[in-house]
Each structure stands twice: as C-alpha cells, then as structure tokens.
Amino acid sequence: MSFSRYNAYRIMWVLVFFDLPTETKRQRSAATKFRKSLIDDGFNMFQFSIYLRHCPSKENAEVHIKRTKRQLPKEGKVGILCITDKQFGQMELFFAKKETDLPIMPQQLELF
C-alpha cells in the first residue's frame, strides 16, 4: 500500500489555546514567556490566546507538543489540539459577518 508522503491526512496542525492570569507582574511575565516560547517554536498567533503551527507529519507534531508541554506556566489553562490538514481546511472563518479565507499554508522545507 502506497500513499503520498504529503497528503491532507498526514500533514498536521497543532493548535494551542490558553487562558493565563495576568493580574500581577509575575503572572504577566509568565504569560509573556509562554507566548514567546510558542513563537520561538514556530507557532503563529491565530487569535490573541490561540496559536497554531503547521507540521509535515504526526511525528513532527508530537515533537512540538512535547516542547509546548515543557513550557507550560504554573497557573492558567492551556489546551493543545492536533488536527489533520484536511480537518483544518474545513474550518469556516468569519470577520464579523463576512467570511474570510483560511491562513495561507506555509511553504515547508524539510532537511534531513
């Protein structure tokens, strides 16, 4: 059985949702550090507390999920969701009541 190495069922998107407290200076610092760790790991902001990352495979997605778990702040709520490119492509996005396009899939260069 042969399948394309890159197809909509193998390519994954990792979404990180979070609600972190920001009442004290320490909490704001921890929230900023967590957001920066996501950006440093290649995540892009989708909404203020939702970041996403395109991954070429489930195995690659698991690497980024583990990195995210190592950076979890001591307070707040964090959710991590991994979906296929096919599922991501079925999302409907709206800005107010006007439908918008999905984010452009980044060109992924994989070096071995």
Binding-site residues from annotation: 19
20 with 27: CB under 8 angstroms? yes
Annotated binding site for Mg(2+): 19
Helical residues (DSSP H) of 1-112, grouped into ranges: 25-40, 58-70, 85-89
**Cα distance between residue 10 and residue 92, in whole Å:** 21
Q: Which residue has the tokens 């107010």?
A: 96
